[in-house]
């Protein structure tokens, strides 16, 4: 299982949200590039980044910062947030990003996913953010009519190889991941499932590994010191 340290960027700063709420935000650093090097130096094999301003539909400087991170690091970087067209995908990949995550755009325009996978293959991932088992979109501020597992199977049928599955209720709470939801998803699909939300300890990471997911994202826990990333990577190499 790959552990993905997360860097969420809003207004050019490293931040964390609680349960996806933009009005409940903590700033953890003014320099996302410096933070990226910190996690790489701790031993991370892959980095997860999110453009929070883009996720809400706004244009931002964050995309350029994510490109600077991708070029500066020696490990691959995946990113999501505000990537809604083929031109967006091409632009982000041209910045050196290894994998693009489609979220709202995948729900609203599945044909984009089909086209993107046909052109870029496994460089395309889909982010599925669930609230009570239903897919949320627009930076988690709107809930769609799609059941998360059904939507995942649809993405699988379009050729998607990787999904990032977030349980919104647990995100940023450090109270443990929704293991039932993660197992249900992992058992339902043949894609790689990267679990996100609720990781608050190395034991949580070990539980996710035991569920069988391909990866786990850790955000708030490594910023608050609840998890020492280097130690976690020794426990789950």
Which amino acids are annotated catalytic? Answer: 8, 129
Residue for token pair 């991170």: 69
Pairing of strands 134-137, 124-131: antiparallel
DSSP characters over 16-46? EEETTEEEEEEEEES-HHHHHHHHHHTT-S-
In terms of Cα–Cα distance, which of 39, 67, 58, 72 is closest to 230? 39
Main-chain phi, psi angles of 95, to 5 degrees: -80, -10
Reading the block at residue 170, the tokens are 């647990």
Reading the block at residue 151, the tokens are 């939507």
> Could you tell me if 216 and 198 are in contact, meaning their C-beta atoms sit under 8 angstroms apart?
no
Bridge partners, 119 (sequence order): none
Pairing of strands 2-10, 192-196: unpaired
Question: Distance between CA 93 and CA 51 in Å, rounded?
Answer: 14
Question: Distance between CA 4 and CA 40 in Å, rounded?
Answer: 10
């Amino acid at each position: 299982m790959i552990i993905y340290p997360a860097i969420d960027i809003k207004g050019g700063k490293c931040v964390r949200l609680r349960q996806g709420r933009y009005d409940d935000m903590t700033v953890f650093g003014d320099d996302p590039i410096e933070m990226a090097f910190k996690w790489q130096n701790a031993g991370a094999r892959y980095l997860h980044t999110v453009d929070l301003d883009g996720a809400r539909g706004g244009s931002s400087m964050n995309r350029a910062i994510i490109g600077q991170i991708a070029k500066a690091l020696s490990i691959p970087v995946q990113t999501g947030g505000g990537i809604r067209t083929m031109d967006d995908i091409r632009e982000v990949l041209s910045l050196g990003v290894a994998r693009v995550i489609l979220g709202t755009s995948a729900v609203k325009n599945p044909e984009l996913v089909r086209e993107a996978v046909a052109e870029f293959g496994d460089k395309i991932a889909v982010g599925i953010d669930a609230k009570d088992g239903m897919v949320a979109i627009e930076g988690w501020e709107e809930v769609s009519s799609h059941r998360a597992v059904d939507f995942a199977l649809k993405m699988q049928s379009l050729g998607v190889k990787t999904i990032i599955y977030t349980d919104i209720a647990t995100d940023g709470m450090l109270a443990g991941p929704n293991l039932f939801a993660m197992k249900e998803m992992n058992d339902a699909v043949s894609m790689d499932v990267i679990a996100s939300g609720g990781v608050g300890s190395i034991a949580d990471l070990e539980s996710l590994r035991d569920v069988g997911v391909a990866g786990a994202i850790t955000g708030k826990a490594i910023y608050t010191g609840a998890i020492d990333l280097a130690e976690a990577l020794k426990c789950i190499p």
